[in-house]
Amino acid sequence: MSKYKCNVCNVFEYDDEEGNAEMGIAPGTKPEDFPDDWKCPICGADKSHLMAV
């Protein structure tokens, strides 16, 4: 499993092993599988800005 960080704000982090219950994202979901209208909750960047760290 991997961890990702928004490369625009450098604040939002996502761990695909944990998912994100607040955003309705199940554990095991990769950022490329997020809904097309997903936005970073901190800065509003789209999912293409989540980079593996």
Decide if pLDDT at 1 tops 90.
Answer: no
- State both tokens at 25: 């994202």
**Mean pLDDT along residues 39-52:** 98
Mean pLDDT of the chain: 97
Q: Are 31 and 19 in contact (CB under 8 A)?
A: no
Q: Residue 22's pLDDT is what?
A: 93
pLDDT (mean) for 19-40: 96
Could you tell me the fold of the domain covering 3-52? Answer: Rubrerythrin, domain 2 (2.20.28)
Which tokens go with 27? 């554990």
pLDDT classification of 12: cutoffs 50, 70, 90? very high
Instruction: Assign 42 a pLDDT band (cuts: 50, 70, 90).
Output: very high
CA 23 from chain centre, in angstroms, equals 10
**Which residues sit opposite 13 in a β-bridge?**
5
- pTM, entire model: 0.90
| Of 14, 22, 21, 15, nearest in space to 45 by CA | 14
Task: Compute the distance between CA of residue 9 and CA of residue 31 in angstroms, rounded to an integer.
Answer: 16
